[in-house]
Structure 1
Amino acid sequence: MQDIAKGNYPFAMGRATGMLDALLDPSNGSINLVGAQGGKKFVKGRVAYKVRAKSCEILEDGAVPSVCNDGTEPLPLEVEVTLDKHISTPTLTFTNDNMVNICQDTQAFVNEYLLSYQKALRERLDEIMLAKADDKIGVTRHQDGSADTAIGGYKDKQLLATNSGVTTPLFANFSDIKLDYQYNQLSGIPRMVGNGTLQKFMELAGYSCCNASGVAYDSAIATTGAAFYVDDAASTILGANRFLVFAPNLLHLLSWNKNANIAINTELRRRIVIPDAVYPGLNWDLDFEFTCDDTWNFKLSGWFGLFSAIQADSFGNEDNTSPVCEDELVGFTGVMGYRATSA
């Protein structure tokens, strides 16, 4: 059947996984935890970070202190990073009879299902990463003076207008999003992950998405001023026409493979780590057994988490005694939410 349908063979079709594309883009990097704590429920670590100095801390005139007196000690903060999401295929069993019936050798038959289930795992992992990124949306300030968007909130932004039956993209409103990005002191090219109305805006504007087939990253951002990644699950996970905006090198996919320190690899039993067929930086645990009933059993799995370089208290909070005054970015996490509208 695949020889007939080619790329439209249902067994081989799949969704656009823009969140994974953004996280695993070589320019973004990733973090892999080596095999340790095997068999435990989760893998964890601790990351320390500092709170920046602010202009409101600067003293003037008679308030300028003497170094002969003790001052305020800046206190570093810590966050516990946990990889608590374990995903796996069901255990799949293959019998020799099935392979004989379809005139296909064992290795070719199993490999096709390995690739198909890798695709399914990627799509589920993409949904999980979208949800985790959604949970990281913080307070967002807006350069036009409108009210801040609260933690977890999405700002409505009209990107399409229809007049006399003709739909046109609203470039000025799209620029507002990029200006918000700059106003919140982020650097680099903003990354946008979504679909729906945002995707239609990009199409009508003649902009390319960074995960479109045959489109180079530099070409995609050249006119857009943003790196847009289509994700077919965005409206389902985030809400209709909602999309995420965040900085490069801010969000990182954490991964861990239990088989990294097992590495059993024989004809009858395998506990190995195999690379994903699409993302070079993504690996899966392959557990494979040839049983006494002359069947082949296998499953693919992995441990994952999402780490943000900007924590909820990276700019301090009202309860902190140090720093001594509130940062204008208090509550900002580097992840912003918008909802693209049309009228």
Structure 2
Amino acid sequence: MNLIGFVNALLVNIGIIAGLNDPQYKVTPVGFLNMLMENPATTQISNLSQLQQGFDREIKVRYLQRGLESSVTDRDDCDTPVGAVWKETAIGAPSYSKIGLFIPDSDFRKYQEEATRTVSVGNPSAPLMLGLYNLMLTQIQAMLQKIDNNLVSAQATKFGINVVTGANTATAVNFSTTINQTDGIIKILADFEANEMSGSPIIVGNGAVNNWQMAQNVKVGVDNGGFGASKLKYYNDFKTATLWGANHFGVFAPGTVGLVDYNKNVGAFAGEKGGSIFFTIPIPVQLANGTLTTFKLDAQLKYEDCPIYNDGGDKVADRGWKLILSKYYGLFNLPNDAFAAGDRLEGVNGSLRYVGTNV
């Protein structure tokens, strides 16, 4: 059984029919997932893809804790009490999400011949290929929502200590119509500095902070207090209302939280095996900043060679093709012990939690 022709045609056809710049077929992830893709924290691991190659690999990061003032003495001697103590943390134990399509022979017969002749694919004479792509994208959108949900849920327990409060619970802030020294945005910036975070704050959340950000977006000049529009990165995610709390939001330092994704159907694990063919498929994604990228999924194409019946004897599916889309992924956070016990930043991991109001 030769499945290669269909799979190769499918991979080529998606590019021919839509392409990365076709606005009708972009899959836009929301909120937290969008932030993780737009602000990658693991890109400096240059050999990550080579380390994976379809294998189950736990990739670890080694780190040292910065020195403590208490280790410094005023005595001139040859004692060397400070040594290199390396610590390790995994950059993400993979989660798994999957969704599948079934294409009955009654539909597939209409374009199977076209699928093996890639030169004419994308032509209006093969509209069902476009229909397959549309159907696949609806399922991919659902899976991206599920992945985002799992990542938001994982982050709920991974917020670090805020040195200003000494806790990792949500700090209450208020976004007023006129900015002053006690306003929520000033509090966030002050906390960001107090926790010695570098770069520009990245915000993900819902409710009050979203309303405040929309007010910034409609500013065309300075407000009555003399303040212009905020330039902070903000990502709205409705799932945070359920998983973190209504009006809750997170503030992240660049590089301290990231998406780690894995592909299984690569290298020696790709190709035709038994009655299935295993491959990867890149999905065009538009980020919040307008940048185009791809999100690569594992795919399995399998032919169901017998009709499927339920316990009552009723046919529930004809002979046809199964297309199974899946993804392995994980969430990386700066470890909670990145700073040593006794350090003023003990427990800080670059992610702070807040709850906002608009009064």
- TM-score tier by shorter-chain length is 0.7 to 0.9
- The 8 Å contact of residues 94 and 261 in structure 2, kept in 1 or not, is answered as no
TM-score (norm 1): 0.74
Question: Equivalent residue of 1:224, what SS?
Answer: coil
In 1, are the aligned partners of 2:39 and 2:254 still within 8 Å (CA)?
no
CA distance in 2, matches of 1:29, 1:292: 43
For residue 296 of structure 1, what is the aligned residue in structure 2?
321
1:275 matched to 2:282:
yes
User: Are 2:70 and 1:56 aligned?
Assistant: yes
Tell me if 1:226 matches 2:232. yes
Partner of 2:201: 190
- CA shift for structure 1 position 73: 1.8
- Are residues 307 and 207 of structure 1, via their aligned partners in 2, closer, same or farther at CA, if it must alter by over 3 Å? farther
The correspondence for 1:263, drawn from 260, 270, 280, is 270
Shift of 1:26: 5.7
Report the Cα distance in structure 1 between the residues aligned to 2:83 and 2:42, rounded to whole angstroms: 34
- Given candidates 302, 315, 334, the residue that maps to 2:339 is 315
Do 1:88 and 1:121's aligned partners in 2 also have CA atoms closer than 8 Å? Answer: yes
Aligned match of 1:5: none
Q: Distance in 2 between matches of 1:204 and 1:285?
A: 41
* Deviation of 1:13 (Å): 11
What SS does the corresponding residue of 1:312 show, helix, strand or coil? Answer: coil
Match of 1:45 among 59, 67, 70: 59
Aligned equivalents of 1:141 and 1:296: distance in 2?
56
Q: After TM superposition, give the deviation of residue 98 of structure 1 in Å.
A: 5.0
Asked if 1:96 corresponds to 2:105, the answer is yes
Q: Give the Cα separation in 2 of the matches to 1:226 and 1:84.
A: 30
Unaligned runs of 5+ in 2: 1-23, 111-124, 220-227, 287-292, 307-318
**Partners of 1:259 and 1:155 in 2: CA distance:** 44
Q: Which range moves more in the overlay, 293-302 or 74-83? A: 74-83
Percent identity, aligned pairs only, is 21
- How far apart are residue 303 of structure 1 and its match? 0.8
Q: Please report how far the alpha carbon of residue 106 of structure 1 lies from its aligned counterpart in structure 2 after TM superposition.
A: 4.2
Q: Is the 8 A contact 1:43 1:84 kept in 2?
A: no
5+ residue gaps, structure 1, are: 1-10, 161-167, 209-221, 318-325
Residue 356 of structure 2 aligns with an amino acid whose one-letter code is A
Residue 156 of structure 2 aligns to a residue whose secondary structure is helix
CA distance in 2 between counterparts of 1:188 and 1:334 reads 11
Q: CA 1:77 to 1:26, structure 2 compared with 1: closer, same or farther past 3 Å?
A: closer
Query: Would you say 1:337 and 2:353 are equivalent positions?
Result: yes
Range moving further from structure 2, 272-281 or 187-196: 272-281
Cα distance, 1:199–1:184 mapped onto 2, change above 3 Å? same
Aligned CA distance change for structure 1 residues 188 and 82 (closer, same or farther; 3 Å): closer
> How far is 1:100 from its partner?
8.3
Any idea what SS the aligned residue of 2:83 has?
Answer: coil
State the 1:284 CA deviation. 0.4
Classify 1:13/1:80 alpha carbon distance in 2 versus 1 (closer, same or farther; 3 Å): closer
| 1:235 shift after superposition | 0.9
1:175 match: 186
In structure 1, C-alpha distance between the alignment counterparts of 2:135 and 2:57, rounded to whole Å: 29
Q: 2:155 aligns with which of 133, 136, 159?
A: 133
Q: Distance in 2 between matches of 1:15 and 1:96?
A: 31
Distance in 2 between residues matched to 1:70 and 1:16, nearest whole Å: 52
| Aligned position for 2:216 | 205
Distance 2:28 2:280 in 1: 24
**RMSD over equivalenced CA pairs, Å:** 3.1
Please give the alpha-carbon distance, in whole angstroms, between the structure 2 residues aligned to 1:159 and 1:97. 58
| Shift in Å, 1:38 | 5.1
Q: Deviations over 1:21-43 (max 9, x none)?
A: 2111166554654475858xx64
1:236 match: 242
Match runs of 1:240-255 below 5 Å: 240-255=246-261
- Supply the distance in 1 between the matched residues of 2:294 and 2:235 (Cα, whole angstroms): 18
Q: 1:14 to 1:181 in 2, by over 3 A?
A: same
In structure 1, what is the equivalent of residue 114 of structure 2? none
**Greater mean deviation of Cα atoms: 226-235 or 80-89:** 80-89
CA distance in structure 2 between the aligned counterparts of 1:197 and 1:15, rounded to whole angstroms: 23
SS of the residue 1:44 aligns to:
coil
